[in-house]
Amino acid sequence: MPLPFYVSPSDMGGFLTCRFKWDLSSPNRQSLRHRSSPRFYLTAGTALHAALESMANGEWTLVDPVSVAKEVIDTEREAKIEAYRHEYGFKPWAQELEQFEADAEFTLDLVSQYFEQYPVGHELDDQGLTYIATEVPFKIDITDKLDDPKRQVFYVGTIDAVAVDENDRLFIVENKSYSAKPESDDLMFHFQSTGYAVAIEMLTGQPIAGGLYNGVAKKLIKPPKVLKSGKISVDKRQSTTSQEFLKTCRAIGANPNSPEYAEFLQFLQARELAGDTRFFYREKFFYNEAQKESWLQDFYKVANEMVGDPRIYRTIPYNGCGKQGSDCWYSDICRSAHSGGDVDYILDKRYTVGSYGTFEEVTGIEPTPVSSIDELKELLRGATWTATT
């Protein structure tokens, strides 16, 4: 009996982006991973997510968000050092960790900045929403929806968060860090968030009204520059805010109401009133039934291809597969395979089959239609959802 096939939004995204890379990396295919990290990078989003989840779950009475993020970073550092030592027989030099440590410092500052903007316990107040659950995993049997698959197929995933508004309407929350602000028109049609909305409805029978993109820019707010003259710079290109400007005024004893600062302060306040997306970007969007049904039909079509006997070919983006492009970590295999190189040598020296090669079969409560938000909150306390469609 073949192992079950698990279709997740991220795995499907990999399939749609580059089938060659998907075939190498997917837990449903070859499930290759590097024997050791190809470079000392820090997954900043993981630490940020951990802090957001911890605070949304009410743990702010026990621990602060920066400490949560620091614990994640410390664990990741130790794992990478151990992987390096296993590969080379000795610990990395301090210079090799310089970028990791710089990224770690930046990430902790970013977490601190986020919770200054959105105080713990009130993170979604400005959107009229309240968290009711975070990090909700699910498993839905879609075998009978596909074209005669030769193995059992599940739709799986983990939802960042579910929130409710004052009218008991449900929203999916997507916590994202970004370098470039997304287009608002694209958010309501985002494949992953729409898929999560559909999953919640499959599991509970409760409709999802919409979603919230909770974006955190990978950019730190800085105090305005203090010139040699002792005055505060009014250069509008600075990465500062009206709050930081007022802090600096207090620190150096400057009068924020001075005429020489009036235009600059007014500029900062007007930009923030209009929505200063240099550091944070939140956008609420709404679904309709036709949109969710359209997503579901596309989902089944792609899943049919993935589970069947898909054609495997590479897709090279216009800006390439290197660090300036898609930054594909499997490019060494790809380039060797398509230029007559020794692929087996690369596989033997640099890769192994990941321990995640087969998704662990999740267990938990059965699908339970609910009739109220209070019932849904109770249901969400379960660790894992399973369902058949």
Q: Phi and psi (nearest 5°) for 147?
A: -85, 80
Separation of alpha carbons 215 and 254, rounded Å: 33
Average pLDDT estimate for 246-253: 94
Of 79, 57, 161, nearest to 71 by C-alpha is: 79
| Contact status, residue 164 vs residue 129, Cβ threshold 8 Å | yes
Interstrand relation of 129-141 and 385-388 (parallel, antiparallel or unpaired): parallel
* Amino acid 17: pLDDT: 94
DSSP code of residue 173: E
* Amino acid 247: pLDDT: 94
* Amino acid 157: pLDDT: 87
Contacts of 343 (CB under 8 A, 6+ apart): 333, 336, 337
Separation of alpha carbons 236 and 264, rounded Å: 7
* Amino acid 95: pLDDT: 85
Separation of alpha carbons 346 and 363, rounded Å: 37
Residue type, 176: K
Identify the burial level of 97 via C-beta atoms within 10 angstroms of its C-beta, where 0-12 means exposed, 13-18 middle and 19 or more buried.
middle
* Amino acid 44: pLDDT: 78
Per-chain mean pLDDT for the chain: 87
Question: What tokens appear for 379 in the block?
Answer: 């249901």
Q: Is the pLDDT of residue 268 over 70?
A: yes
Residue carrying the six token digits 């794992």: 79
Q: Which of 153-162, 182-191, 271-280 has the lowest mean pLDDT?
A: 182-191
Percent of the chain with pLDDT over 70: 90
* Amino acid 127: pLDDT: 95
- CA-based Rg of the chain, rounded to a whole angstrom? 24
* Amino acid 373: pLDDT: 66
* Amino acid 96: pLDDT: 83
DSSP code of residue 365: B
Separation of alpha carbons 175 and 167, rounded Å: 23
Q: Is the pLDDT of residue 37 over 80?
A: no
Separation of alpha carbons 65 and 260, rounded Å: 38
Of 17, 31, 1, 15, nearest to 308 by C-alpha is: 15
Average pLDDT estimate for 72-93: 86
pLDDT digit string, tens, across residues 189-233: 788 889 999 998 888 888 899 999 999 999 999 999 999 999 999
Contacts of 298 (CB under 8 A, 6+ apart): none
* Amino acid 361: pLDDT: 41
Of the ranges 133-137, 244-248, 371-375, the best mean pLDDT one: 244-248
* Amino acid 360: pLDDT: 47
Count Cα neighbours of 72 within 13 Å in the Cβ-side half-sphere: 23
> CA torsion, points 284, 157, 68, 39, in degrees to nearest 10?
-110
Q: Please tell me which residue, 80 or 164, carries the higher pLDDT value.
A: 164
Look at the alpha carbons of 138, 144, 146, 148 in this order and tell me if their dihedral is positive or negative: positive
Average pLDDT estimate for 290-296: 92
- Cβ neighbour number for residue 43 with a 10 Å cutoff: 13
pLDDT digit string, tens, across residues 105-153: 999 999 999 999 999 989 999 999 999 988 888 888 999 999 988 889 9
Q: Is 205 helix (H, G, I), strand (E, B) or coil?
A: coil
* Amino acid 51: pLDDT: 94
DSSP H helices in 18-174? 19-25, 44-56, 65-88, 98-117
- Class at the top of the CATH hierarchy for domain 1-30+125-217+279-389: alpha beta
* Amino acid 178: pLDDT: 87
Place 164 in a pLDDT band, splitting at 50, 70 and 90: very high
Residue carrying the six token digits 């309501």: 188
Question: What tokens appear for 86 in the block?
Answer: 């296993």
Question: What tokens appear for 181 in the block?
Answer: 């602000």
Domain parsing of the chain, residue ranges = 1-30+125-217+279-389, 35-123, 221-277
* Amino acid 362: pLDDT: 46
* Amino acid 355: pLDDT: 55
Residue carrying the six token digits 């664990």: 75
pLDDT digit string, tens, across residues 299-322: 999 999 999 889 999 999 888 888
Place 275 in a pLDDT band, splitting at 50, 70 and 90: confident
Separation of alpha carbons 325 and 320, rounded Å: 5
Angle at 199 between CA 196 and CA 203, to 5 degrees: 145
Of 238, 312, 285, 309, nearest to 129 by C-alpha is: 285
End-to-end CA distance of the chain: 22
Q: Is the pLDDT of residue 358 over 50?
A: no
Q: Is the pLDDT of residue 39 over 80?
A: no
Q: At what angle do helices 98-117 and 65-88 cross, to 10 degrees?
A: 160
